[in-house]
Amino acid sequence: MAQTETHPASPCSALAPTVALHRCEAIRAQVMSAGLYAPTTDAASAARPAGLQAATTWRVSPCPLFLSPEHLAFFTKLGPQLLTFYRALNRLYQDSAKGLQPAWAARYLDQGKPESLIAYSRMKRFRDDLPAVIRPDVIPTQDGMVITELDSVPGGIGLTACLSSIYSGLDETPLSIIGGRDGMVRGFAAMLRAMQNAQAGCIAIVVSEEAKDYRPEMAWLAARLRELHIEAYCVEPRDVHFTEEGLRLRLDTRDLPIAVLYRFYELFDLLNIPKAELIQYAAKKDWVSVTPPYKPALEEKSSFALLHHPVLRPFWEKELGASTFLDLTTIMPRTWLLDPAPIPPAATIPGLLMGGRAVTNWRDLAAATQKERHYVIKPSGFSELAWGSRGVSVGHDLPQADWAAAIDQALSSFPTTPYILQEFHKGRLFELDYWDATSNTMQRMNGRARLSPYYFVSGGKAELAGILATICSAEKKIIHGMKDAIMVPCAVQPQ
C-alpha cells in the first residue's frame, strides 16, 4: 500500500483575498441554510424547524483539502480492505466463541457487555451481518497514513454530503471533489437499496437523544434521499411503533411500514432508547432490516489489539491474505488491551517496550519518561466515553502523576469498560486559509488533519463516497470537530 507522503501546494494560495472572502461567505450561507451550521441571527434560526438547526460552527475555508492522486489510490484501496477486516473479525469472534480459535479473543470482545446483548448478537439470523457504513479515522503523518480507529455508527455523513455539493459548485470548472458532488448521497442510497431489497416500506433513520446533535445533518440527508425517490425519514425512537406485522413509523397523519431501520444510536445506550426491545424483536423475526447490526464485538477498538497479537497472526494472514495483512498491520497502530489479570513472571506483554526493555506489568508504564510514553489510553467501546474524543489520555501530554492515574483508572475499569493502550502517531502539518468572521479577514492555520473517508457497502463491495477533513491547530493533541477547527471535503490535487 502506498505510503509516500507528498506536500502539494494548495490552489487556494493563488486566490485573491476578496475572492476567498466571498467564497467563505457563500459557503457559510449555504451550510447555514441547510441547517448544518449554527445561525448567526435569530431570524435564521427561526427559519428552521425546532431541533433541525445545528448548534455547531467551524472555521470555513475557501477551498477543500487537496490530496494527491497517490492518496486517492490509497483511500480507494482501503475500503475493500477494511470490509475484509470486518469479515475476518466477525469470523474470529464466532470461531473463538465456538472454541475454534483462542477463547480469550471472544471474551475480550464481550467484556463489559450485558449477556442478553451478547446472546442476541450471536443469533444465527445475524451471523453474516456486517456494518454497511465504514468510516476509519485516518491521520496523515510524515511516514504515511495511520488509522486510529474504526466507526460503524459515524457522524458526518450528511455534513460531508452537503459540503461536497457546495464545494463542487465553487468554480465554473468544478473541483475534483472525491466522490463527486452527489457521491455521498448516492452511496448512502445504494447501501439502503441493497438493505431493503424487495421489502416494502420506508427507511427510518432513528437518531437517539444521545446523538441529537446529528439530527440536522441526517434530516438533510433524508430529504436528499427523497429527491432520489427513496422514502426516508429522520426520526426519534418514539416515532417508531410496533404492530403484529412489524415496525411502523408515525408521520403526522400517515402511518408507514418500516423496511430498513438505520441505527444512529450506540449499543451502550439501549436502555435509554424507547422501543429498543421491540426493534430487536422485529429484526429477529426478519420483519425489518437493521444496520449497523446489533454486534457490539464489531465496534470494539480492541480489535486492533487482536490484529497485532502474535498468537492470532496465522488466522489473520489466512483470512486477510498476506498483502492485506501487511498493509493493515502497517497502518493500524500497535494496540494492547489493558487487562489487569496477572502476567506470569516469565512472560512479557507482546511487542510492548519501554526504553528498549520488555514490559511485564502494565503499571511499569507509569514510570515511563515523557519521551517514552508516546501512547494513548482510551475506552475500547460500549461506553459513553468511547466516542467524541471523550475519555482519551495522551501520555506525553500529561504530567507523570496524571499519566499514572490514567493507567490505574483504565485497569480498574476493565470489568465494565475495557481500555486500550495505543501508539501515538503525530500528524504532519498542513497549511490552510480560513475566514475570521469577526475581523472579516483571511487567516492562515498550520494544523494537523484527521481524514474521515466514508465507504458504503452494497453488493458485497465497499465504495469510497467522500472524505471529510478536520484540521486543528498544531498544538492540539486530539483532532476532532470544534469551533476552532477547519472542516472541508477532500479533493484531488489539480495537475
Beta carbons of 482 and 58 less than 8 angstroms apart: yes
CA dihedral sign, ordered 477, 481, 487, 489: positive
Residue 285, φ and ψ in degrees, nearest 5: -85, 0
pLDDT at 382: 83
Quick one: pLDDT at residue 381? 87
DSSP E strands in 18-132: the ranges are 65-67
20 in a structural domain = no
User: For residue 287, what pLDDT is reported?
Assistant: 93
Number of domains composing the chain: 1
Q: By C-alpha distance, which of 140, 139, 141, 158 is closest to 149?
A: 139
Backbone angles phi, psi at 279, to 5 degrees: -65, -45
Separation between Cα atoms, residue 112 and residue 420, nearest integer Å: 14
Whether residue 408 is contained in a domain is answered as: yes
Domain coverage including residue 354 = 334-423
**What is the per-residue pLDDT across 425-466, written as a single tens digit (0 to 9) for each?**
999 999 999 999 899 999 999 999 999 999 999 999 999 999
Please report, for residues 171, 176, 206, 223, 383, the alpha-carbon distance to residue 212 in angstroms, rounded to integers and kept in the order given.
34, 32, 10, 17, 17
Domain presence at residue 361: yes
Q: How many CB atoms lie within 10 A of CB 72?
A: 18
- The closest of 483, 490, 489, 491 to 37, measured between CA atoms, is 483
Q: Where are the beta strands (DSSP E) in 168-270?
A: 202-207, 232-235, 240-243, 246-251, 254-264
- In contact, 68 and 493? CB cutoff 8 Å: yes
Residue 405 within a domain: yes
387 assigned to some structural domain: yes
DSSP letters along 265-301, please? Answer: S-GGGGGGSTTHHHHHHHHHTTSSEEES-S-GGGG-T
Peptide bond into 69 cis (omega under 30): no
Q: Which pLDDT value is given to residue 170? A: 83
* Ramachandran quadrant class, 137 (left: phi over 0; alpha: psi -120 to 50; beta: rest): beta
Q: Three cell numbers at 63?
A: 477551498
Is 348 a domain residue? yes
Structure pTM?
Answer: 0.94
Distance separating alpha carbons of residues 109 and 241, to the nearest angstrom:
32
Q: Per-residue pLDDT for the chain (495 aa), expressed as one digit of tens each?
A: 433 344 444 556 678 889 999 999 999 999 999 999 998 765 555 555 656 778 889 999 999 999 999 999 999 999 999 999 999 999 999 999 999 999 999 999 999 999 999 999 999 999 999 999 999 999 999 999 999 999 989 999 999 999 999 999 887 556 799 999 999 999 999 999 999 987 889 999 999 999 999 999 999 999 999 999 999 999 999 999 998 888 999 998 889 999 999 999 999 999 999 889 999 999 999 999 999 999 999 999 999 999 999 999 999 999 999 999 999 999 999 999 999 999 888 899 999 988 888 999 999 999 888 889 899 999 998 887 756 667 788 888 899 999 999 999 999 999 999 999 999 999 999 999 999 989 999 999 999 999 999 999 999 999 999 999 999 988 877 777 678 999 999 999 887
480 in a domain, yes or no? no
Any domain includes 406? yes
Q: Is 119 exposed, middle or buried (0-12, 13-18, 19+ CB in 10 A)?
A: exposed
Question: Cβ–Cβ contacts within 10 Å for residue 164, how many?
Answer: 28
Q: What is the pLDDT of residues 61-106, one digit of tens each?
A: 999 999 999 999 999 999 999 999 999 999 999 999 999 999 999 9
